[in-house]
Every structure is written in structure tokens, then in C-alpha cells.
Amino acid sequence: MTEPITNIQCIRIKEGVRSIEEERIATEVELTLKINDQIETQFSYSVGLDEQLVYGYLLSSGIIESLNNVEKIDLDKGQCIVRISKEAEIKPDSTKFPSSVSFDQLLKARESLTNNQQKYKATRGFHGALLMELSSGRWFSCEDVGRHNAVDKVIGYCVQQGYSFSDSMLLLSGRLTSNIVQKGINSGIPVIASLTVATDEGIAKAKESNTTLIGAMVEDECWLYNEGATKLET
């Protein structure tokens, strides 16, 4: 079985001197997703949470509304075959979103994410994502070589565990681009945040959907790109 990290012998150049040293690097595996006998996409991802990756992709892409839309899922040898009962566009009800999120909650999520990025610390080759249910404080995080995959994996895992997405916050280590922000919007998540910055189209998506978008989080400051239905308590 492929491991998410492998060791290689590599030339290291330091202060002009070459040496052969062991380097830890991230590994990738491939997965082809077929929906109702049609090829939907191909993933290049870090091994682990394979089923959750697929469920998260289906939900965050707006292909399904819930797990009930999935009639069958079969994962085998680099291929995933899914049969769904219907395609649907998710339309989150912002009236069900929490009225506010505190900066302390953001910091707790940030601490949990950074403390659990062990593969990133070992290789500098992984992205991290975390989903936290605001009312209960429970959370789940994971890492993947692809930032989209990391988001899909946490969404897939948390939907299987019964998290309330309308009462949750999504936190990322990577940029808040339009397609990443759209994943959170499609999943009905009212607060999307990142340790780094947003793009103009990512901000536009948040404004269109009344989503709270926060970036460049550190211990005492952040960028509040858009304050949507869920307000940020400072």
C-alpha cells in the first residue's frame, strides 16, 4: 500500500556544498471517478480517506444534496464508481446560519489545524483543512497534497458523521480562490477562513452568497473580506 510520505536520497546544496541526504516527500495516487457510468473527474491525491474524498467532492461540487442521493459507491484499484439518484443544486438557507462567530473560536480552530499538520511539518508538501461545528466545538482536520482534496475530505468525513454544516466553519491553510470558496458555499457552510489570503473572485463569491470570508489569520489580526449572515465578534 502506498504511504502518504516516502523517503528518497536527494542532493542537498547548502552554502555551496553538495551532499547526499535523505529527504521526506509527499506521495500521490490517482483515482478516476465515474458517476452514472460517465467519467466525472480524476483525482491526484494523498492516500487515505478515499471514500470521504469522493463524498466531499460530490457535495461540495453541488452534484448531490445529501448522502441519500448516493445509491451505490464502489472503490477499487484506482477507480470509484458512483450511482446517484439525481443531480441537484444546493441552495443554503442563510436564516439557519448562526448569528455570530467569535475571534476566539477562530483562534481555537487555527491552533487545532496547525497542531495537526504533521505531514506538512515533515515535508512542506501538504495542505490542511479543518471543519468545526460552532455550537459543539467538535472538529475534524486532514491533510492532502491538493488543497481542493483536503477540503473535500473534511467535508466528506463530517457529512458522514452528522455535522451541521449550517452551524460550521471551514478553515484552510491555502488561498481562498473562487473554486475553493464555492465548495464551502455549495456545502452550506456560513464561515470560510484561511491562514493565507483570498483572491478577488473568491471575495466576489462570498459577497454573492452572503458568506463570511476571513483570511490571513494570525494570533491578533485577520482580514475580514466579507461579513455575511454570520457576524464576526471582535
- Per-residue model confidence as pLDDT tens digits over 173-218: 999 999 999 999 999 999 999 999 999 999 999 999 999 999 999 9
Joined together, the cell numbers standing for residue 9 give 536520497
Model confidence pLDDT, tens digit, residues 29-50: 999 999 998 999 999 999 999 9
> What is the model's pLDDT at position 94?
55
Give the SS3 label for residue 189. coil
| 234: pLDDT strictly greater than 90 | no
Q: Residues 129, 221: one domain?
A: yes
Q: Residues 78, 100: one domain?
A: no
**Owning domain of residue 221:** 94-233
Cell 490571513 belongs to which residue?
216
Model confidence pLDDT, tens digit, residues 174-185: 999 999 999 999
Average pLDDT over residues 108-137: 97
Helices 178-186 and 200-209: angle between axes, nearest 10 degrees: 20
> What is the model's pLDDT at position 201?
98
Considering its fold, how many domains does the chain have in total? Answer: 2
Average pLDDT over the chain, rounded to an integer: 94
Q: Residues 127, 57: one domain?
A: no
Q: Residues 77, 126: one domain?
A: no
> What is the model's pLDDT at position 85?
87
Q: Is residue 142 part of a domain?
A: yes
Q: Residues 149, 51: one domain?
A: no
> What is the model's pLDDT at position 189?
98
Confidence of residue 92 (pLDDT cuts 50, 70, 90): low
Q: How many CA atoms lie within 13 A of 205 on its CB side?
A: 21
Q: Residues 147, 74: one domain?
A: no
Residue 214, phi-psi category: left (phi > 0), alpha (psi -120 to 50), beta (remainder): beta
| 163: pLDDT strictly greater than 80 | yes
Q: Is residue 43 part of a domain?
A: yes
Confidence of residue 138 (pLDDT cuts 50, 70, 90): very high
DSSP 176: B
Average pLDDT over residues 85-107: 77
Q: Residues 152, 224: one domain?
A: yes
Q: Is residue 8 part of a domain?
A: no
> What is the model's pLDDT at position 91?
54
Q: Is residue 36 part of a domain?
A: yes
Q: Residues 79, 177: one domain?
A: no
> What is the model's pLDDT at position 177?
98
Q: Residues 75, 140: one domain?
A: no
The Cα–Cα gap between 116 and 122 comes to 12
Q: What are the CA-CA distances from residue 101 to residues 126, 183, 220, 232 (Å)? A: 28, 20, 16, 5
Q: Residues 73, 98: one domain?
A: no
CATH number at residue 73: 3.10.20.10
CATH number at residue 210: 3.40.140.10
Evaluated on CA atoms 210, 56, 61, 150, the torsion sign reads positive
Q: Residues 80, 103: one domain?
A: no
105, amino acid identity: Q
> What is the model's pLDDT at position 37?
87
Q: Is residue 186 part of a domain?
A: yes
What residues contact residue 136 under an 8 Å CB cut-off, 6+ apart? none
Q: Is residue 7 part of a domain?
A: no
Q: Residues 162, 220: one domain?
A: yes
| 131: pLDDT strictly greater than 90 | yes
